[in-house]
Structure 1
Amino acid sequence: MDTKFNLYLIRHGETYLNRYKKMQGWADSPLTEEGKAIAIETGMKLADVPFARVYTSDSGRTVETAEMILQQNHYSKNLSINRRKAFRESFFGSFEGEYSEVTFRKVAQDNGCSNSSELFQKHTLEEVMNFIKQSDPFRHAENYHELWERIDKGLNEIVSSNEHNHENILLVTHGVIIRHIISKFSTEFENTMEIKNSSVSVIEYFNNNYKVISFNQ
């Protein structure tokens, strides 16, 4: 039987560390009041989408966002949230909690760039991920291979658990995770742009192929 489903990728709502423009990977912080409001708005936009399954990372900010989205959904009464470590945000090692500007200035300078804009213009997402690990004094930050290995594991679980064709699946996860998934399966979208909090990206899966339908809406 052919396997086909739509995967709705949603970034969590704005958190306090987002508001303060600090690095937030495995570190976690609660949603701001504005973050909650926008998550509810996203839920209202998707109220008539009948989701068959729901996945999040194991971070509180994605679970809270998913709960708010499902509260608005007309078909979500019996849905449970599957929390998966595979969909955690990238781990930034000793940069966790640091100001993002400080982190990326160091990563840029370590690699011959004057600022973060030049860094992302000259290098791929994969290269920047590897640079972050190299710039982390403890080398604890994840590199691209480590990150994609677990994302791929999570996606494979979603595929293997598919029971019915044309399912709609909700995945509430993180900006870096969404950016790398989109980058992996499409070259048509500007994947270095900021992934908006509570934004929706849709990917169609059909027989081992992923097609990006919309991005960062």
Structure 2
Amino acid sequence: MHKDVREVYFGSFEGIDSTQTWNMIGGPLGHFKQDDLIREHGLLKVRDFMHDADPFHEAETAAQIEKRIKQAVGHLQDELEDGDQAIVVSHGTYLRNLATIYTEGHPYLRQPKNGGITILDVTDTPKIISYNQ
């Protein structure tokens, strides 16, 4: 297990009711649903909104999660030989952020289904081959 392949840290919002969380984060921005906030501002920017709304500012920022994900992918690149394949298991929000980072233009992507499969090509420039299949 690699330490950088773990769920996104929500800081003070860990374990709090989802409706309450998104009211606190999105309410001042005119959105009370996570999905609406992501559609308007993008998933990575929402990481920063969560960090800013966290009373202790412990929630991971976009830069922190992006660095962590890129370190994990770099680890895979270092460990795998040409033609090797690996299975990496993680949480949905982590995978959604990974897919956003490695999909050109950072499009809106839905939260992956439980048990969904995402394929990431890590040769040269990492890129998503398929998401949430």
* TM-score, normalization by structure 2: 0.88
**Structure with greater Cα Rg:** 1
Partner letter of residue 129 of structure 1? Answer: R
Q: 1:121 deviation in Å?
A: 2.1
Contact 1:126/1:144, CA 8 A, preserved across alignment: yes
Contact 1:202/1:213, CA 8 A, preserved across alignment: yes
Partner letter of residue 204 of structure 1? Answer: D
SS in structure 2 opposite 1:200? coil
Correspondence for 1:106: 24
Correspondence for 1:86: 4
Correspondence for 2:120: 203
Partner letter of residue 201 of structure 1? Answer: T
Correspondence for 2:109: 192
Q: Unaligned regions of 5+ residues in structure 1, if any?
A: 1-82
Selected match of 2:38 from 120, 128, 133: 120
Q: Which has the higher contact order (CA 8 A, sep 6+)?
A: 1
Give RMSD over aligned pairs.
Answer: 1.9
Aligned positions, number = 133
Bigger helix fraction: 2
Contact 2:66/2:101, CA 8 A, preserved across alignment: no
1:177 correspondence with 2:101? no
Contact 2:76/2:122, CA 8 A, preserved across alignment: no
Correspondence for 1:152: 70
TM-aligned CA distance change 1:108 to 1:194, over 3 Å: same
Contact 1:200/1:215, CA 8 A, preserved across alignment: yes
Partner letter of residue 101 of structure 1? Answer: T
Contact 2:22/2:34, CA 8 A, preserved across alignment: yes
Partner letter of residue 89 of structure 2? Answer: V
Q: Percent identity?
A: 27
Partner letter of residue 133 of structure 1? Answer: H
* TM-score, normalization by structure 1: 0.56
Bigger strand fraction: 1
Q: 1:108 deviation in Å?
A: 0.8
Q: Residues 30-74 of structure 1: CA distance to partner in whole angstroms, max 9, x if unpaired?
A: xxxxxxxxxxxxxxxxxxxxxxxxxxxxxxxxxxxxxxxxxxxxx
Contact 1:110/1:135, CA 8 A, preserved across alignment: no
